[in-house]
Amino acid sequence: MNRLLGLISFLLVLAGSVSAKVVLPAIFSDNMVLQQNAQVNLWGKATPGERISVKASWADKAVAAKTNADGKWTVKLKTPTATKGQTVTVSGENTIVINNVLIGEVWLCTGQSNMEYPVSKHPDKKWMTGMTTEAEEMKDADYSEYRLFRVEHQLAPDGEKDDCQGRWLVCTPENLYDFSAVGFVFGRRLHKELGVPVGMIQSTWGGTHAESWTKMSVMKNNPLYADVLEDFALKNVKQEKGYCKVPSTLWNGMIHPILGYTIRGNIWYQGESNAIRYEKYQQVFTNMINSWRKEWKQPDMPFYFMQIAPHKGQPAGIREAQLKTWQSGLKNVGMAVVTDAADSTDIHPRNKRVAGERMALWALAKQYDKNVAYSGPLFKSMKVSGGKAVLSFEYAGDGLMTPENAPVKGFLVAGADRRFYPAEAVIKGAQLEVSASQVAVPVAVRYGFCNFFRVNLYNKAGLPAVPFRTDTWEQGSYARWFADSEMMRFPQAYQLDHGKRLFFGYAQGVGCCAMLQMWKATGERRYYDYVKQWADSLINEKGEIHLYDMSTYNLDFINSGKVLFDLYRETGDRRYKSAMDILIKQLKNQPRTLEGGFWHKLIYQHQMWLDGLYMASPFMAQYGAEFNKPEWVDEAVKQFRLCHKHTYDAKTGLYHHAWDESKSQRWANPETGHSPNFWGRSIGWWFMALVDALDFVPENHPGRADMIGYIRGLAETLPKYQDKAGLWYQVIDQPKRKGNFPEASVTTQCMYAYAKAVNKGYIDAKYRAVAEKALQGLKDKLLIEKQDGTLTLTRCCQVGGLGGHPYRDGSFEYYIGEKMRDNDSKATGPFIMGCLELEK
């Protein structure tokens, strides 16, 4: 029996050895390019213990190797100076001849979508719109001694792969259409300048993190990567399109299979997907570079990369992290800049020729000793003289310039107060004098230090200046930054919410309440004066309010009355009290439901809206508390109780936008009177109304416990609907429904309400994390720093309601179809107040 088993084992081994022919990985194929003047690696698999012979046509002798126990073998071939028409013959059990081999320069081109972006428009992928110069490139794309290899997409979350799919192709228009545009232009420039064969190896995947391209041993047990290793672990990635974000999966599947293929260097275009964690990117990127060099056994491998182009969704921090990587002292590292080839709305700028050409300049200058300029002006030092900041630059030896001698754009200057103002910049040879009338003594200068910007400073070689800042200030207060941004774009408070006329509007009231909170938090009178000037332009000596019409019984008018308490307390001016009394008179006569709930407006008969609770109830409660009118505190609490009774949905824990007592509106459920959907901002109004009104409801009031209960219920419910980034959606309970989207006002309102409720002790301190997550989501997704240094809040719903003309039916389609705009005070006011609460 033992002999039989032994014979069977022998026959199996013999059969395996017969079938295990010599196999080469895909990277070694006809048309390949090998690095000149080098000891290049060549490897493959065969039967364990088999002797392999490799004969290069340029060599006198073959090189031999013996396979190891895994059947793997490796040899080194010494390559000559650039040449063409070569072959490599690999012999073992079988023989493989690699034909049409070139000896020349070999480069990798790697990264995410901007490196993957092809020369030609892709018929199926909308983002691959093709180069702006596609037609011209195709006319200059026929090069027999320029070769292209594209590593096909391959995920490998479970471990390193030994091979990939791909083949070497001769550069022709037919073979070029889906190759990296940046990589193609880079290689073509080298081929033309050097006059030698060039091979480009593309390994790219759009939407990927640097961590996807990093070896796992670099990241494991390193706190720097803890969040990514957890958030993007395969088990936590819910959609297939996110599998490429799994840490190490692309190192394993798309770099390891070509690891060791001898190259001159690598060009890299990535960072967009790391922008959300830009503060970590310098170290993450540096670790990746060092690990690639170590694994390739090329410790000084050139690594040139493209700085992320200006874009509305790409913060200055990611470009600064890339700049710091360049300036960190790493050898053979350089950064190209494309500030003049950007698109504010398209993360994939189509002018890829300039990107490829500028990275080629780095290689030509540094690796091939060509006398070419390779970097634009780089900030070197600053001194202050005569109220001006005098800046000096590297890479500006022949002087600075702007196209057509236009005025220099893109500079900001700040004094000791850290407030930045648009600056005048004057070229003085290779220096720049920067100043602003508002800054007597400059302390800091910034250039292109925001998400998207238009700048125009170059050196005489025509290369753009690198964006920079001279300070290292952290943005200490987002509340101050945004409040100041609002005052810069809306010099008069009536302009808040994009107002075109003097008006006592509820949205202006929200913004002015935020400015008064800024005054109280900072002691800076300018915030108070901003609000007072608006109020004084609207209220006459009798306390009458410009354009106010009591007969409409519109609760929206009441909201702006909240600013009058501070003005009256500060000045004692009776007209402010008279104006408040007029608003209270409206509420005394406000039409009501049968149970006493306020109609939202006279034209919205029998209807209670969540919006109305914010507009009127905090004002009533404060009026009652400040003027010893407890009946108005009672009235405010009564409105909360009635609204909760008729709009609360026990199944979801949310609140319907409105309730129609008559059940006659087309939008109303004929049985319950509810509106059909949970509009995010209406719930935000309700949440804010509760936390604000409670400031004036006595501890012993019988309704106080109910209001705190409503707050706690929402606090427990809303995290279920908060997305991974920290945002809430326009229709709050359907974040994954097609067409729905994260919306700014619901997110800022909930952020504020959570933060204030925690600070007041209404809810557990653990809920502060919900507000902080919302703030981070706003920073990452919806906030944009503009070229003038201001902050802009995007994706704000302009208006939302029910009924009216044209009729608003409260459907999902209605809500997602409402217009969006930037810097709507219904979102910006709560953002400022929420930041102030989080800064306490």
Q: Kindly report, residue by residue over 719-734, the tens digit of the pLDDT.
A: 999 999 999 999 999 9
475 — pLDDT class (breaks 50, 70, 90): low
749 pLDDT exceeds 80?
Answer: yes
3-state DSSP call for residue 556? helix
The mean pLDDT value of the chain amounts to: 94
476 — pLDDT class (breaks 50, 70, 90): low
For residue 271, what is the domain's CATH number?
3.40.50.1110
At residue 134, the pLDDT reads 87
Q: 583 with 702, same domain?
A: yes
- The domain boundary, picked from 346, 366, 386, lies at 366
Q: The pTM is what?
A: 0.76
- The domain boundary, picked from 366, 401, 419, lies at 366
Q: 109 with 81, same domain?
A: no
311 — pLDDT class (breaks 50, 70, 90): confident
For residue 689, what is the domain's CATH number?
1.50.10.10
3 pLDDT exceeds 70?
Answer: no
Q: 401 with 498, same domain?
A: no
Please give the tally of structural domains in the chain. Answer: 4
Residue 13 lies in a domain: no
Residue 4 lies in a domain: no
Q: Kindly report, residue by residue over 416-463, the tens digit of the pLDDT.
A: 988 888 999 999 999 999 999 999 999 999 999 988 888 999 999 999
Q: What angle do CA 689, 690, 692 make, to 5 degrees?
A: 65
Q: 151 with 76, same domain?
A: no
Residues 6 or more apart whose Cβ sits within 8 Å of residue 746: 680, 681, 683, 684, 728, 729, 730, 732
Q: 508 with 523, same domain?
A: yes
Helix, strand counts (H, E) of the chain: 25, 31
Q: 803 with 727, same domain?
A: yes
The reply to whether omega before 806 is within 30° of 0 (cis) is yes
Q: 619 with 690, same domain?
A: yes
10 — pLDDT class (breaks 50, 70, 90): very low
Q: 79 with 115, same domain?
A: no
9 pLDDT exceeds 50?
Answer: no
Active site residues: 611
Q: Kindly report, residue by residue over 674-717, the tens digit of the pLDDT.
A: 999 999 999 999 999 999 999 999 999 999 999 999 999 999 99
Full residue range of the structural domain in which residue 48 is found: 20-100
Q: What angle do CA 264, 269, 275 make, to 5 degrees?
A: 140
At residue 16, the pLDDT reads 43
3-state DSSP call for residue 84? strand
Between these two residues, 314 and 87, which has the higher pLDDT value? 87
Which single residue is written with the structure tokens 């959609």? 239
Angle between helices 525-538 and 563-571 (to 10 degrees): 100
**What average pLDDT does this structure show over 50-54?**
96
Specify which residues 118 forms β-bridges with: 180
Q: 464 with 491, same domain?
A: no
Q: 429 with 300, same domain?
A: no
- From the list 118, 113, 154, the residue with the least C-alpha distance to 254 is 154
DSSP-derived secondary structure for 667-718: TS-TTT-B-SS-BHHHHHHHHHHHHHHGGGS-TT-TTHHHHHHHHHHHHHHG
Q: Kindly report, residue by residue over 770-789, the tens digit of the pLDDT.
A: 999 999 999 989 999 887 87
Q: What's the Rg (C-alpha) of the chain? A: 33
499 pLDDT exceeds 90?
Answer: no
**What average pLDDT does this structure show over 158-171?**
97
Residue 612 lies in a domain: yes
At residue 120, the pLDDT reads 86
2 — pLDDT class (breaks 50, 70, 90): very low
